[in-house]
Amino acid sequence: MRPEHFRIARVMIDGGREVCVRLFGDLDGDARDELRRELVDAVHDNAAPLVVVDLHGARFLDSEAIGVLLDGLLRVQEAGKTACIVNARGVVRTVLQVTGILDLFGATAESSAGLGVPGGTRVLPLPDRPGPAESLPREAT
């Protein structure tokens, strides 16, 4: 059995107004089923009007993970909720730009202002275009 190479965490934020699905590591075919479950649960297990996918910790997305991500984000919209992606960087950001997913589910500063974990770090919003904001460190709160 190989060591865990991905992790997915779902957290409620801002008094239940946002649900955040945080992705870590290499998301490939092994992550497909768990990612699908977390995204479906993020849509249906709460009344939060905003579903945010935080890719700060993601190093790689293969085509299966991209397909599940796209399907999940479309389910969010079909449920009448808002979907956005934050903190995509490096090769993950490039893949999402090339596939057009960032154009469909871009993030604004307002949509990610409440992202964070109790006693943890505040997550930076995805900038509209590459620039200095991508190189800012994560702030401890």
State pLDDT tens for residues 7-63.
999 999 888 899 999 999 999 999 999 999 999 999 998 899 999 999 999 999 999
pLDDT at 126 over 50: no
Check residue 29 and give its pLDDT: 92
CA atoms within a 13 Å half-sphere pointing along the CA-CB vector of 68:
20
Check residue 106 and give its pLDDT: 66
Check residue 55 and give its pLDDT: 93
Rg from Cα positions in the chain? 14
Q: Between 5 and 127, whose confidence is greater? A: 5
State pLDDT tens for residues 75-121.
999 999 999 999 998 999 999 988 888 888 764 444 444 444 343 33
Check residue 15 and give its pLDDT: 85
User: In sequence order, which residues have a C-beta less than 8 Å from that of residue 99 and are 6 or more positions away?
Assistant: 66, 70
pLDDT at 125 over 60: no
Only one residue has tokens 């730009």, namely: 97
Percent of the chain topping pLDDT 70: 72
Q: From 3.30.750.24, 3.30.70.980, 3.30.70.360, 3.30.2020.30, which CATH number describes the 6-111 domain?
A: 3.30.750.24
User: In sequence order, which residues have a C-beta less than 8 Å from that of residue 136 and are 6 or more positions away?
Assistant: 124
pLDDT at 74 over 70: yes
User: In sequence order, which residues have a C-beta less than 8 Å from that of residue 15 and are 6 or more positions away?
Assistant: none
